[in-house]
Structure 1
C-alpha cells in the first residue's frame, strides 16, 4: 500500500472515530478487535505458559507466543487490506472504518470526563468509582487530589498508547501496521506484568511493547506541548522543561513523556509514589508544580487533549496531502 493511501486512511479513521467512536450496539453484537485479540492471547497463555517449566523455558514460550500472535493478527489484517484495496476510494473508506476501531479518542475522553463529573456531582465517592474504571491502583487509597492526578495521568498515557501509537503505525503501515501494534499493546496489558505467572512468559510482550511505543510517546509529548501553546493558562515552556528534566526518570521508558508534558503544561506534579492493589510503587514526580490536583484540572487536561487530537488530525491530513502531491 502506498504511503499516501495509508495516510489518507489514517485521516479518515481519526475523523470517523472522533465523530462516532465504537458504537455500543456493535460491541454488544460482535465484540471489539481488542477482545478478539485478547481471546487469542488468553489461549496462548493457557497452552504455552506452563508452570512446571523453568524460567528460561517460559521466557522462550513467551517469545513463541508473541510471534504466533503477531503472525495471526498481521496476516489477517494484510488479507483484509489486500481484499479491500482494489476497490479504490470505497476500499479506502472501508479500511478507514475498520481502522477507526483501533483508535480510542472518543472513549478515552468519555472515561476521563466521567471522573471529573463524578467528583463534581458525587464527591470523592463518585470520583473513586469513575477512576476505578480506568486505572489499576486502589481507588480507596486516593483522596480528591489522588483521583484527579490518576485521571490526568491515565489521559496522558493513554493518549500515547491508545491513540497516537496506533495512528503512527496506521499511517506508516496501513491496517496491518495498526493491528500489529494493537496486538502487541494488548499482549503487554494482559501478560506483560512482573507476577509469578507472567514475569518470564510476558517478558517478550513487555519489551516489544516498550519498543513499538517509543516514537509515539515522543510525538505525544510534542503534541501536548503544541496544544499548550494554544491555550491560555497552559504553559508550553513548562511542558518542554518538564519533559527534558523528568521524562527519562519515569519507571516506564514511554509513559514519562506524555505525563511530564501534561504536568508541565498544567503546572502540576504527576506520577510519583502510588499504590496498585496492595503494592506501593516508588516513582519520580513528573513536573514541579502543585500535587493538589482538582476536578477542574481534569477539565483543563481534557481541553488540552482535544486540541492535541485536532493537531494529530491536522498532521495526518497534511502528511496525506503532501504524500499525494509527491506521488503524482
Structure 2
C-alpha cells in the first residue's frame, strides 16, 4: 500500500520508518525541508506541498496526518478536503479532541470521503516496540487499512483494534492519557516519599528495579521511571514544571459531563497545573491564614 504521511516530526517520521521497514511505500510531506531529507535517506519519497503529495498517490488515496491537534489539524483537513477525491481516506493519528473528529468525519462524509481517527500511543519507543493504536471509523476504510495497522502495532494481532465509529479512537486515547496522568502522579508521589526518608539512604533506582519484576505495580511506565532514575537519580537540572497536552483536561471535563467520579485523574491534572506556579499566591495566603488564626510562623522569602 502506498501511504501519504503528513507531519514528519519525531513520532510521524518514526511511524513512517516502521512502515517502510514493513514493506510499505511512503510519500512524506513536512514544511521543514530537513525533515523531508531525513525521511528520504530512509528510502521514502517526499513531496514539497500537500498538492504534490496528493498527486503522487494512486486512488483511492490514503493520507495519514501526524500534526498537532487544534488549528494546524483543522487547517490541514480543510486544505486536503479541496485536494482529495471521492473514496479517499484521511487518517488523523494525532491527539485531536474527539468532538472535532466527529465533526470532521461528518464533513468528509458529505464529499463521500472517509475519516479515520487513530489514537496512537508509543512515543519515541514505537519505532522499535510498535505502537498501540485505538481506531475509530467506518468498518470498510478501517479494514482496508488493516495492513498499515498490523505493521505499526507490536504484532499483527496485538496492540491495535477498531474500537468504534468516527471519534471513538480519539475518545479512547483521551481516556488512556487521563489514566496515564494518574499513574504518573502515583509513581512520582511514591518515589518522593522514599526520597524524603533520608535516614534510610534509599537507592531509588534500585527500588525501581526491584519493583519491575514480580511486583503488582510493575509496568512499562515503571520501566521508564527506572531508566530516568538511573540516568539522573537526583533530577539535577530538571525544572519542577509539568506540561500537559490537553487530553487530561478533556478527560476530566468528560467525566463531569457523564457524572463519573474521577478524583485521581482530576487531582493529577491539578497537580500539573500547580507545578507551573513558581510564585504561588495561594500558598502564601495559606501561610498568612495559619498565622492569623494560630500564630504560626511565616517563612520570609
TM-score using structure 1 length: 0.22
Q: Relative contact order, CA 8 A, sep 6+: which one is greater? A: 1
TM-score using structure 2 length: 0.24
